[in-house]
Structure 1
Amino acid sequence: TEGQRAPSRRDQKRIAEAVLRIEVDADRPISLAELADQTATSPYHFLRTFRHVAGMTPYQFLLRTRLHKAAVRLRTSDQAISAIAFAAGFNDLSTFNRRFRRLMGETPGTYRARRRRS
C-alpha cells in the first residue's frame, strides 16, 4: 500500500518462521497473539507485516493450509470426510464443507471421487 515501506529482512525472516509454524501446527488452534509472541512483535505489527509479505492474513493462510492438508488426505486415504475435517482442525463439518468448496470449487465428496478416477 501507499506509504508503507517494504518489510525488513528481519521481519521477512519472522514471517517465514511463522509460516513454517502454521504449516507444522495447522491442525491445532493457533492464535495471532501466539504467533506475534513467537516472532517477538506486537500482534498489530505481526498482522500488518504478515499480510504485506504473504498477501493474506495469518488466519487466511491457516485456513488454506488446513484445507490443502485435508485435500491430500481425501485423495490418499479412505478416512471419513468428517474425520479428515476434524483432524485438519475444523470443529464442525458444515464449516469445513463450505470453506473447502469455496477454495477448491467443489465439495469434499466430489473432490475425492474425481481425484480417485483420474
Structure 2
Amino acid sequence: MTPEELVYLRRARDLMDREYTRPLDVPAMARAALMSPAHFSRQFRAAYGETPYSYLMTRRIERAKALLRRGDLSVTEVCMAVGCTSLGSFSSRFTELVGESPSAYRARDHAALAPVPACWAKVITRPVRRPSTNEEAQVGRTA
C-alpha cells in the first residue's frame, strides 16, 4: 500500500468519523478515497483490520453509548440519532459489540463515569468487536 493510498483511506475514515449519522455506503466511502468500492474495501481492511462498514458501525455504537448514558433519549431515538434506520440491526450490533442490549446499557448506573472527562470516557467505553462463535471456531482450526 502506497503512502498516497493511506492518505486517501484516512480521508474516507475521517468522513465516517465526521458524517456517521448520514447514510453512508461503501461506494460513497470509496469515492472519498478515490478508489473503486472493491479495492477500497480490501485496502481499508488491510490498513485498519476491519471492513469499512464495521468501522462505521463501531463509530455509531460508540456515539450511541454516550447518548444512552445520558438517559434522556429512548433506544429508538438513539438508534435514529446515530444514523441507523433499523432498530433490530442497531440492537443486534450494539449487543455484539457491547455485550448487552441497548436497553440494559441505558438502565445501568453510569455515575462512575460522571467525573471522567468526555475524551477519556470515549476511550474507556469504546466498543470492541468480539469474534463470533463461527470466527472462534475458524481460528481454532488454523492455530
TM-score by length of 1: 0.86
Q: Cα 1:94–1:44, aligned 2, differ >3 Å: closer, same or farther?
A: closer
Instruction: State yes or no: 1:89 paired with 2:96.
Output: no
Of 45, 49, 58 in structure 2, the residue corresponding to residue 51 of structure 1 is 45
Higher relative CO (Cα under 8 Å, sequence separation at least 6) belongs to 1
Match of 1:112, SS?
helix
Aligned to 1:41: 35
Letter in 1 for 2:30: A
Q: Deviations over 1:50-78 (max 9, x none)?
A: 01001011111111111111011111241
TM-score by length of 2: 0.72
Letter in 2 for 1:116: H
Match of 1:91, SS?
coil
Instruction: State yes or no: 1:100 paired with 2:94.
Output: yes
Aligned to 1:63: 57
CA contact (8 A) 2:45 2:51 kept: yes
Aligned residue pair count: 112
- Counterpart-to-counterpart distance in 2, 1:43 and 1:98: 26
Runs of 4+ in structure 1 over 3 Å off: none
Instruction: State yes or no: 1:10 paired with 2:31.
Output: no
Q: Which structure 1 segments of 5+ residues have no match?
A: 1-6
Letter in 1 for 2:7: K
- Counterpart-to-counterpart distance in 1, 2:32 and 2:57: 20
Shift of 1:117: 4.6
Aligned to 2:74: 80
CA contact (8 A) 2:71 2:106 kept: no
Q: Deviations over 1:19-70 (max 9, x none)?
A: 1100111111112111222222121221111010010111111111111110
- Counterpart-to-counterpart distance in 2, 1:114 and 1:20: 31
Q: Which structure 2 segments of 5+ residues have no match?
A: 113-143
